[in-house]
């Protein structure tokens, strides 16, 4: 196994993302983290976290994540409605001398408490999800889950990444990102050192890769592609990468055995040597990619 | 007594708007005076919490009831807190809905749907 | 107009592949792609003309005028979204992090901050004869997907008022965009994957869909990749009283068809035959009296 302590950055953060779900992000992140043996796996797909289904970790810590929601002191409120007018999210309504606060629409910006001339608004905590930390054969697993009905997973992702930042060792961190290219994805890759883009060899795959590729370039993240479930020698995604000179680090062929192991929640790299070798070799390729990229981005 | 109805256009011949929170206009109709006043719905272009904002403007208009095909949970909370009754329209015509209300043929709206948090993020 | 919404929970289960087959089989005159983050339906459906486009404005974003900014730092101190940074000259806002709350504008002692409207996406409407296809694409890094989804559906409804039936290719996940897709739907068909992740996601989606009181049905795609899990899903549906409309096998011909821009209902293949069964069962649930007109 390559020695990553020589790398320019400690706690090398590798984000695995794709334009859409089902392309193999979790397959890759879970297996790469396992192949690295001593690593950290972070599941930022807080709407539909799946990594823990593979690792089945021993959970050590479970923390509730909360956001700040305003609460009103009716004795101090004089009905001026400055807070109602200020709120850009329409989370406040004043009816029958009562201020109504709508938690699920509130963005926790703190603005209403600031604008209230009477100091009638203070803040309380509201649970939006949980963060769990556990271990599975040398891999530290961090998983966040959003409560159903909550609008944004960003506070949970922020907390997940803060937890990674406070680790005291040098272990590489594999970030399993949410699908798409919206704010939750940007939040997940913000501090990544390297991005691995998972793509499918179909016209959908090419189209979705294009979107997430724009994202990583916008954030100036070094990156490469892994095409998953390949059936033919050439495919629309492969063509797209060649046309745009995007490096393809690996083409994983469509493999019934791999698919079955995955659908049964098994970590292929832990099940047999063929897959352990596949993912170790991919891991090595990634490590080789990173140093010369890391020296270019020397702040990392 | 005044009632409010979400309206697609600023005329009594208009259809009832299918959405409460994002209707372009509200008709404020005075039953006894038989007079119609149309107000713009400032919530229509809101990112989120449209139902809440629309409901607040209805409360400020001092109506006793609204006639609507649907209503979200958050908007319903605001309206109910203000003591405003919510009736379900059956017809898509404003004129027919007003007539149905006057003749007490309308039922109160039972199915309040969950909020949409239209803002995402 | 009766709306059939196709959801999957997680991505990659074949939702769009199934949706496109349904569009072909039902000869639907109105359909929409609500996966505004990664719209794909237009890649399979054929359109000869370019669509009409409309800007979609998301939340306004804050902007700091460096000429007025005195670098006092109050904006950064009060920004809950870590969207404000500083350089030697002035403070500046990261438009991707900014949520448009207006706090910075409020606290700035010198009025250096203003909120400006920003384009967050692109709404597109394809209209060819009687057929309407509504879709949109969210600009990278934007939030407000729920509202854009609502706009996509509104656009479709407004353009196809007399149609009896519309198919909506829904958003993946379980959050706002899915909730927005669910509004106005008469029935939801969940395309599930026979994997542990797929089952877990299917359960979460059913929980969300139940709040809306719509007819819910399930089908399994790539069913033969794990027959055991497919049976688990069937048993779950039976227990929960949810109609199971069929199993579609994994079919390499499907990939080939899709890559050529065709739906699986267009070619003779195992997945095509299976999807026809699913289609018939689904339509019987949505139109128990039969579908009256084929306008």
- Asked whether residue C138 falls in the same domain as residue C185, the answer is yes
Which of the following CATH numbers is that of domain A4-65+129-296: 3.40.50.720, 3.30.470.20, 3.40.50.300, 3.30.70.260?
3.40.50.300
Question: So what's the pLDDT on residue C176?
Answer: 67
- Across the interface, whether the CB atoms of C174 and A22 are under 8 A apart is answered no
Under 8 Å between Cβ of A38 and A4: no
- Asked whether residue C254 falls in the same domain as residue C156, the answer is yes
Under 8 Å between Cβ of A133 and A118: no
What is the CATH number for C81?
3.30.70.20
- Across the interface, whether the CB atoms of A102 and B49 are under 8 A apart is answered yes
Does the CB of A59 have a partner CB in chain B at under 8 Å? no
Q: How many CB atoms lie within 10 A of CB B57?
A: 15
* pLDDT at residue A300 is higher than 50: no
Dist CA A207 CA A213 (whole Å): 10
Beta-bridge mates of residue A58: A135
- Which chain A residues have a beta carbon less than 8 Å from that of B48? 89-90, 105
Does the CB of A100 have a partner CB in chain B at under 8 Å? yes
* pLDDT at residue A29 is higher than 60: yes
**Residue C292 in domain:** no
Q: Where a domain ends, among C83, C117, C151? A: C117
Interaxial angle between packed helices C196-210 and C227-240, expressed in degrees from 0 to 180 and rounded to the nearest 10? 20
Between A1-5, A72-76, A213-217, A257-261, the lowest mean confidence (pLDDT) is in A1-5
Dist CA A142 CA C81 (whole Å): 22
Dist CA B68 CA B65 (whole Å): 10
**Residue C257 in domain:** yes
* DSSP secondary structure of chain C: -EEEEEE-SSSSSSHHHHHHHHHHHHT-SEEEE--TTS--GGGTS--SSPPEEEEEE-S-EEEE-TTT-----HHHHH-TTS-EEE-SS-EEE-TTT-----HHHHH-TT--EEEE--EEEEEEEEEETTEEEEEEEEPTT---HHHHHHHHHHHHHHHTTT-SEEEEE--SSSSHHHHHHHTT-SEEEEEE-SSHHHHHHHHHHHHHHHTTT-EEEEEEESGGG-HHHHHHHHHHHHHHT--EEEEE---HHHHHHHHTT--TTTS-SHHHHHHHHHHHHHHHHH-TT------
Mean pLDDT of B27-56: 89
3-class DSSP state for residue A77?
Answer: coil
Q: Which domain does C92 fall in, by range?
A: 59-117
* pLDDT at residue A8 is higher than 50: no
* pLDDT at residue A233 is higher than 90: no
CATH number of this structure's domain A67-127: 3.30.70.20
Under 8 Å between Cβ of C277 and C221: no
What is the CATH number for C206?
3.40.50.300
Instruction: Compute the nearest-CA separation of A251 from chain C (Å).
Output: 17
Please give the residue of chain A at the shortest CA–CA distance from B60. A95
Give the start-to-end residue ranges of the domains of chain A: 4-65+129-296, 67-127
Beta-bridge mates of residue C7: C190
* pLDDT at residue C175 is higher than 80: no
Q: What is the 3-state secondary structure (H, E, C) of C241-268?
A: CCCEEEEECCCHHHHHHHHCCCCCCCCC
Mutation pick from A81, A91, A93, A152 vs chain B, by most beta carbons of B within 10 Å, is: A93
Dihedral (Cα; A97, A101, A102, A106), 10-degree rounding: 140
Q: Where a domain ends, among C98, C117, C136? A: C117
Dist CA C238 CA A298 (whole Å): 58
At B15, the pLDDT band (50, 70, 90 cuts) reads confident
Between A170 and C244, the more confident residue is C244
- Which chain C residues have a beta carbon less than 8 Å from that of B118? 144, 146-147, 150, 176, 180
- Which chain B residues have a beta carbon less than 8 Å from that of C58? 47
* pLDDT at residue B81 is higher than 60: yes
* pLDDT at residue C46 is higher than 80: no
Domains held by chain C: number: 2
Which tokens belong to A62?
């479970």
Burial environment of residue C257 by CB neighbours within 10 A (0 to 12, 13 to 18, 19 or more): buried
Between A162-171, A285-294, B45-54, C155-164, the lowest mean confidence (pLDDT) is in A285-294
pTM score, two decimals? 0.75
Question: pLDDT by residue (tens digit) across A86-135?
Answer: 999 889 999 888 999 988 788 899 999 999 999 999 999 999 899 999 99
Which tokens belong to C198?
């797929």
- Across the interface, whether the CB atoms of B113 and C212 are under 8 A apart is answered yes
- Across the interface, whether the CB atoms of C195 and A264 are under 8 A apart is answered yes
At C144, the pLDDT band (50, 70, 90 cuts) reads low
Question: So what's the pLDDT on residue A5?
Answer: 44
Dist CA C135 CA C40 (whole Å): 9
Residue A236's H or E segment, with its range, is helix A236-243
- Asked whether residue C141 falls in the same domain as residue C155, the answer is yes
Which tokens belong to A246?
């995007």
Between B117 and C192, the more confident residue is C192
Instruction: Compute the nearest-CA separation of A190 from chain B (Å).
Output: 16
ipTM: 0.79
Burial environment of residue A119 by CB neighbours within 10 A (0 to 12, 13 to 18, 19 or more): exposed
Mutation pick from A108, A109, A190 vs chain C, by most beta carbons of C within 10 Å, is: A109
- Asked whether residue C21 falls in the same domain as residue C78, the answer is no
Which of the following CATH numbers is that of domain B2-102: 3.40.50.970, 3.30.420.130, 3.30.390.10, 3.40.50.1100?
3.30.420.130
**Between residues 181 and 220 of chain A, which touch chain B (CB distance below 8 Å)?**
182-183
At C42, the pLDDT band (50, 70, 90 cuts) reads confident
- Across the interface, whether the CB atoms of C176 and B113 are under 8 A apart is answered no
- Asked whether residue C64 falls in the same domain as residue C126, the answer is no
Pairing of strands A139-146, A39-43: parallel
Which tokens belong to B100?
């149905």
Mean pLDDT of C114-123: 89
- Across the interface, whether the CB atoms of B121 and C99 are under 8 A apart is answered yes
Give the start-to-end residue ranges of the domains of chain B: 2-102
* pLDDT at residue A24 is higher than 80: yes
- Out of C143, C179, C213, whose CB is closest to B111? C213
Between A19-23, A235-239, C77-81, C107-111, the lowest mean confidence (pLDDT) is in A19-23
At B114, the pLDDT band (50, 70, 90 cuts) reads low
- Asked whether residue C189 falls in the same domain as residue C276, the answer is yes
């Amino acid at each position: 196994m390559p020695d990553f302590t020589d790398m320019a950055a400690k706690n090398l953060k590798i984000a695995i993302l794709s334009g859409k779900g089902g392309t193999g992000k979790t397959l890759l992140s879970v297996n790469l983290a396992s192949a690295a043996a001593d690593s950290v796996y972070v599941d930022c797909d807080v709407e539909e976290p799946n990594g823990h289904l593979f690792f089945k970790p021993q959970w050590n810590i479970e923390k509730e994540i909360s956001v700040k929601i305003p609460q009103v002191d009716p004795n101090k409120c004089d009905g001026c409605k400055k807070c109602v007018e200020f709120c850009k999210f329409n989370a406040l309504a004043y009816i029958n001398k009562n201020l109504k606060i709508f938690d699920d629409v509130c963005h926790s910006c703190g603005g209403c408490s600031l604008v209230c001339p009477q100091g009638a608004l203070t803040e309380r905590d509201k649970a939006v999800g949980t963060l769990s930390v556990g271990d599975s054969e040398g891999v530290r697993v961090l998983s966040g889950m959003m409560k159903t009905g909550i609008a944004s997973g960003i506070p949970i992702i922020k907390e997940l990444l803060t937890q990674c930042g406070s680790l005291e060792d040098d272990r590489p961190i594999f970030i399993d990102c949410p699908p798409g290219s919206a704010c939750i994805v940007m939040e997940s890759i913000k501090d990544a050192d390297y991005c691995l883009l998972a793509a499918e060899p179909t016209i959908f795959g090419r189209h979705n890769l294009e979107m997430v590729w724009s994202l990583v370039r916008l954030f100036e993240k070094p990156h490469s592609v892994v095409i998953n479930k390949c059936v033919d020698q050439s495919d629309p995604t492969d063509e797209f990468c060649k046309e745009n000179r995007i490096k393809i680090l690996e083409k994983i062929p469509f493999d019934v055995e791999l698919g079955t192991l995955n659908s049964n929640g098994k970590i292929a790299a832990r099940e047999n040597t063929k897959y352990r070798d596949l993912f170790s070799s991919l891991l090595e390729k990634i490590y080789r990619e990173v140093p010369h990229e890391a020296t270019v981005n020397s702040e990392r | 007594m005044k009632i409010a109805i979400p309206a697609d256009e600023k005329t009594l011949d208009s259809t009832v708007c299918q959405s409460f929170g994002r209707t372009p206009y509200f008709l404020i109709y005075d039953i006894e005076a038989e007079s119609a006043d149309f107000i713009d719905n400032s919530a229509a272009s809101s990112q989120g919490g449209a139902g809440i904002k629309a409901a607040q403007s209805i409360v400020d208009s001092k109506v006793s009831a609204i006639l609507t095909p649907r209503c979200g949970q958050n908007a319903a909370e605001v309206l109910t807190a203000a003591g405003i009754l919510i009736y379900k329209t059956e017809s898509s015509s404003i004129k027919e809905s007003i007539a149905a209300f006057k003749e007490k043929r309308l039922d109160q709206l039972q199915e309040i749907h969950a909020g949409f948090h239209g803002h995402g993020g | 107009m009766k709306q059939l919404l196709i959801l999957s929970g997680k991505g990659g289960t074949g939702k769009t592949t199934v949706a496109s087959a349904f569009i072909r089989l039902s000869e639907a005159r109105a359909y929409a792609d609500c996966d505004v983050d990664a719209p794909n339906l237009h890649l399979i459906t054929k359109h000869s003309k370019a669509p009409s486009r409309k800007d979609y404005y998301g939340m306004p974003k804050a902007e700091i005028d460096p000429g007025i900014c005195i670098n006092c730092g109050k904006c950064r101190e009060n920004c809950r979204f870590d969207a404000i940074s500083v350089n030697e000259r002035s403070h500046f806002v990261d438009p991707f992090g900014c949520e448009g709350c207006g706090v910075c504008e409020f606290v700035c002692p010198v009025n250096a901050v203003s909120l400006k409207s920003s384009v967050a996406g692109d709404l597109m409407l394809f209209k060819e004869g009687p057929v309407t296809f509504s879709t949109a694409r969210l600009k990278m890094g934007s939030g407000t997907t729920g509202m854009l989804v609502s706009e996509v559906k509104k656009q479709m409804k407004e353009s196809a008022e007399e149609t009896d039936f519309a198919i909506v290719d829904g958003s993946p996940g379980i959050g706002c965009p899915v909730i927005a897709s669910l509004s106005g739907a008469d029935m939801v068909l969940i395309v599930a994957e026979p994997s542990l992740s797929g089952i877990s996601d299917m359960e979460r989606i059913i929980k969300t869909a139940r709040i809306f009181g719509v007819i819910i049905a399930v089908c399994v795609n790539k069913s033969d990749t794990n027959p055991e899990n497919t049976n688990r899903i069937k048993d779950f549906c039976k227990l929960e009283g949810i109609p199971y409309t069929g199993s579609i096998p994994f079919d390499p011909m499907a990939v080939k068809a899709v890559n050529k821009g065709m739906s699986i209902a267009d070619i003779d293949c195992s997945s095509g035959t299976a999807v026809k069964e699913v289609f018939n069962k689904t339509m019987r649930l949505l139109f128990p009296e039969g579908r009256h007109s084929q306008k």
